[in-house]
Amino acid sequence: MSIYLDHAATTPMIEDAIAAMSAQMVALGNPSSLHTPGRASRKVIEQSRESLAAEIGCAPSEIIFTASGTEANNTALKGLYWKGRSVGRNVVVISAIEHHAILDPAQWLVDHEGAEVILIGTTNEGVLDISKLEELISRRADEIAVISVMHSNNETGVVQPIAEVVAVANAHSIPVHCDGVQSFKKVPLSFSDLQLTALSLSAHKIGGPLGIGILVLKRGLEIPALLHGGGQEREIRSGTLNAPAIVGFAAAARADYPSAQVKQLREELAAGIVRVIPDAYINGSGELLPGIVNATFPGTESDTLLLLFDGQGIAASTGSAC
């Protein structure tokens, strides 16, 4: 028997998403074409956009389809930086615990665009240190082009104080981007309620297909594009829209996530680890995602543990696999 404990990396597709995607894969038509098959493809995309907007808490026009959460992160961080730089803002602020889909493009902006990147650390509980962010903004608000903080950490599961980040930033008209890939459908997450500027999401974390993500970008806000060609998606993300993946994403997003059941399993696993291995300890505290346990086993090598787990049919990770 195999045990899969790596849903933070990717999830199995749910039946509704498979069915929706399979049906659309045999439908003909480029959604940018004006003939009947093209309009039919466009119709299912726009219906999916509306369905997803209802789940995300945003306007349908604020959804920009991408090929992944990584692309959405890159588009948001670079685009908002370039927009800010055009008015003299050269600083990018991110948390020290971001996914590499934010850390790496931030470093790229340093190496290739001359940006200054400032990392904000966390408390011992793994939560962004708001006091340090407030202190930085009090001194350098006029220099900051964008702030990017993940909604929850993909390794510890600790939910971050995004509402507080946005409140501090909004007081100085600083746009805030949030990587919400791990949180979507698992804990409450609303683009409009949080008053974000931009939000990144991905289908394959919630039972949807690989290869489709979303950048939610505040209506009326235009940023420089990474891809040019067809002018799709508000001319921010050119390229033929992937209708099968989009309808699969929408189907997965409509499904209920069993948060209470998964949380109970998480708590049972964490308690069992400490009971069987008394010197092990669980990392992260406060508000947590229901499905992530981050454990430390003193005196062990993580790669060796993974090989031993794998030999017993247990799939787990020592960090981010994506």
Per-residue pLDDT reduced to its tens digit, 214-273: 999 999 999 999 999 999 999 999 999 999 999 999 999 999 999 999 999 999 999 999
Residue % of the chain over a pLDDT of 70: 99
- Is residue 168 in a domain? yes
Cα separation, 38 vs 32, whole angstroms: 6
- Is residue 246 in a domain? yes
Q: Specify whether 302 is located in the same domain as 279.
A: yes
- Is residue 165 in a domain? yes
- Is residue 233 in a domain? yes
Looking at residue 175, its pLDDT comes to: 98
Q: Specify whether 87 is located in the same domain as 185.
A: yes
Q: Specify whether 133 is located in the same domain as 267.
A: no
Looking at residue 162, its pLDDT comes to: 98
Looking at residue 322, its pLDDT comes to: 56
**Contact partners, residue 252, CB within 8 Å, separation at least 6:** 13, 14, 16, 17, 203, 206, 207, 208, 209
User: What is the number of domains present in the chain?
Assistant: 2
Cβ contact 209:249 at 8 Å: yes
pLDDT category of residue 284 using cuts at 50, 70 and 90: very high
The pairing of strands 3-4 and 294-296 is unpaired
Q: Specify whether 26 is located in the same domain as 152.
A: yes
Per-residue pLDDT reduced to its tens digit, 241-250: 999 999 999 9
Looking at residue 233, its pLDDT comes to: 96
Residues 154-189 as b or e (16 or more Cβ within 10 Å = b):
bbbbbbbbbeebbebbeeeebbbbbbbbbbbbbbeb
The residue from 232, 251, 270 where one domain ends is 251
Q: Would you give the DSSP letter of residue 35?
A: S
pLDDT category of residue 14 using cuts at 50, 70 and 90: very high
Task: Using the structure block, give the residue that is written with the tokens 């998480």.
Answer: 266
Looking at residue 318, its pLDDT comes to: 87
Cβ burial of 236 (10 Å; 0-12, 13-18, 19+) is: buried
Q: Specify whether 165 is located in the same domain as 226.
A: yes
pLDDT higher than threshold 60 for residue 170? yes
| Token output for 124 | 């011992």
- Is residue 288 in a domain? yes
Q: Specify whether 169 is located in the same domain as 66.
A: yes
What value, to the nearest 5°, has the Cα angle with vertex 56 and ends 52 and 60? Answer: 55
The residue from 251, 269, 294 where one domain ends is 251
Q: Specify whether 27 is located in the same domain as 143.
A: yes
**What is the pLDDT averaged over residues 76-94?**
98
pTM of the model: 0.96
> How many other β-carbons are positioned within 10 Å of the β-carbon of residue 108?
15
Q: Specify whether 214 is located in the same domain as 121.
A: yes
Q: Specify whether 66 is located in the same domain as 180.
A: yes
Looking at residue 62, its pLDDT comes to: 98
Question: Which residue, 109, 116, 117, is CA-closest to 82?
Answer: 109
Which stretches of the chain are DSSP H helices? 15-25, 36-56, 69-85, 100-113, 130-140, 162-170, 191-194, 232-236, 243-254, 259-276, 302-311
- Is residue 236 in a domain? yes
Active site residue 58: no
Q: What is the CATH number of the domain that holds 131?
A: 3.40.640.10
Q: Specify whether 262 is located in the same domain as 155.
A: no
Q: Specify whether 190 is located in the same domain as 305.
A: no
- Is residue 150 in a domain? yes
pLDDT higher than threshold 70 for residue 84? yes
Instruction: Please give the mean pLDDT across all residues of the chain.
Output: 96
Q: What is the CATH number of the domain that holds 280?
A: 3.90.1150.10
- Is residue 320 in a domain? no
What value, to the nearest 5°, has the Cα angle with vertex 180 and ends 175 and 183? Answer: 145
State phi, psi for 233 to the nearest 5 degrees.
Answer: 55, 60
**What is the pLDDT averaged over residues 135-141?**
98
pLDDT higher than threshold 90 for residue 110? yes
Catalytic position from the list 159, 181, 223, 322: 322
The residue from 226, 251, 276 where one domain ends is 251
Looking at residue 1, its pLDDT comes to: 78
**What is the pLDDT averaged over residues 188-201?**
98
**What is the pLDDT averaged over residues 33-39?**
96
Cα separation, 309 vs 39, whole angstroms: 50
| Token output for 269 | 């696993």
Looking at residue 207, its pLDDT comes to: 98
Looking at residue 321, its pLDDT comes to: 59
Q: Which domain holds residue 273?
A: 3-12+257-315
Q: Specify whether 277 is located in the same domain as 141.
A: no
The pairing of strands 281-283 and 294-296 is antiparallel
State phi, psi for 90 to the nearest 5 degrees.
Answer: -120, 5
Cα separation, 91 vs 137, whole angstroms: 11
